[in-house]
Amino acid sequence: MAQIIAIANQKGGVGKTTTAVNLAASLAVLKKRVLLVDMDSQGNATMGSGIQKNDLLYSVTDVLLGEVPIETAISKAEVGYKVLGANRDLAGVELAIAEQDGREFILREALKEIEDSFDYIIVDCAPSLSLITVNALAAVDSVLIPMQCEYYALEGLADLTQTIDRIQQALNPDLQIVGVLRTMYDARNALTRDVSEELEQYFGKKLYDTVIPRNVRLAEAPAHGLPIIYFEKNSKGAVAYLNLAAEVLKKSKVKKGIKA
């Protein structure tokens, strides 16, 4: 059965989609069966995986509307993992399902059909708290929170943890924060170091040892439709996301009671 992890932060511009794409790719490089689910109508995770969002025959929209089985909507990326893609059509889904019974659990029920076919399912969430994002958080086992070490990021983090608590109480009692990831990290910046120390005090062992550095090649990779490990495998960004994938695997083993 797959570990299902949402990559979420209600603040935009923190490296959320970059983390979803590159964690999926790095886990695949480590021989894991991975599905990346794009739950953002911008479709950036889809495009970053080398799949043209406007050319999708079927997308996550069709799955949420019950128009096709989830297996039919999954695409195989050329970068080692599979993708349930998204495009602008997803923006209209919330209104279409708003009055539907069990509307918060549509994605959860769909994923049950295919979760035994994967080791990891990575869900890229939109930065807004919409019914689509609620669907994502109701479907996953845990949340990985990427955040930039800046002052306003801490305010956004408080909002997100409150959201997770509400989802846990109302829809998904097993939901937990699996870890917090520092992104766009610049150790030369005093504020970055200060915020990082605050995160260490607040989250303790839930803060990943891996930090994702500011890296030009990492920023360039999405324009080429490639995860960083396929675009520039020796870059600092590629090495960092491989290290993150190794940490994710280690946490999964500990959770299952397997000696890492």
Q: Which two tokens stand for residue 257?
A: 């009671």
How far is 25 from 213, CA to CA, in rounded Å? 18
Percent of the chain with pLDDT over 70: 97
Res 260: pLDDT: 34
Residue 159 has a pLDDT of 82
Please give the residue that has the higher pLDDT: either 253 or 161: 161
pLDDT in tens, 6-22: 999 988 888 999 999 99
Least Cα distance to 49 among 15, 13, 20, 91 occurs for 20
Biggest distance spanned by C-alpha atoms of the chain:
52
Q: What is the pLDDT of residues 214-232, one digit of tens each?
A: 989 999 999 999 999 999 9
Contact, 138 vs 166, CB < 8 A? no
What's the pLDDT band for 151 if we cut at 50, 70, 90? confident
Is pLDDT at 70 greater than 80 in this prediction? yes
pLDDT at position 1, please?
87
DSSP result, 176-244: EEEEEEEEEE-TT-HHHHHHHHHHHHHHGGGEEEEEEE--HHHHHGGGGT--HHHH-TTSHHHHHHHHH
In terms of DSSP bridges, do strands 142-148 and 74-76 run parallel, antiparallel, or are they unpaired? unpaired
Spell out the domain ranges in the chain. Answer: 3-255
Burial class (CB in 10 A: 0-12, 13-18, 19+), 57: exposed
For the domain covering 3-255, report its CATH number: 3.40.50.300
- List all residues 6 or more positions away from 13 whose beta carbon is below 8 Å from its beta carbon: 148
**pLDDT value at position 154?**
74
In this structure, how many other beta carbons lie within 10 angstroms of the beta carbon of residue 72?
Answer: 11
DSSP state of 68: S
For 100-135, the pLDDT digits (tens) are: 999 999 999 999 999 999 999 999 999 888 999 999
pLDDT on residue 259: 40
Q: How confident is the model at residue 255 (pLDDT cuts 50, 70, 90)?
A: low
Could you read off the pLDDT of 17-36 as tens digits, one per residue?
A: 999 999 999 999 999 999 99
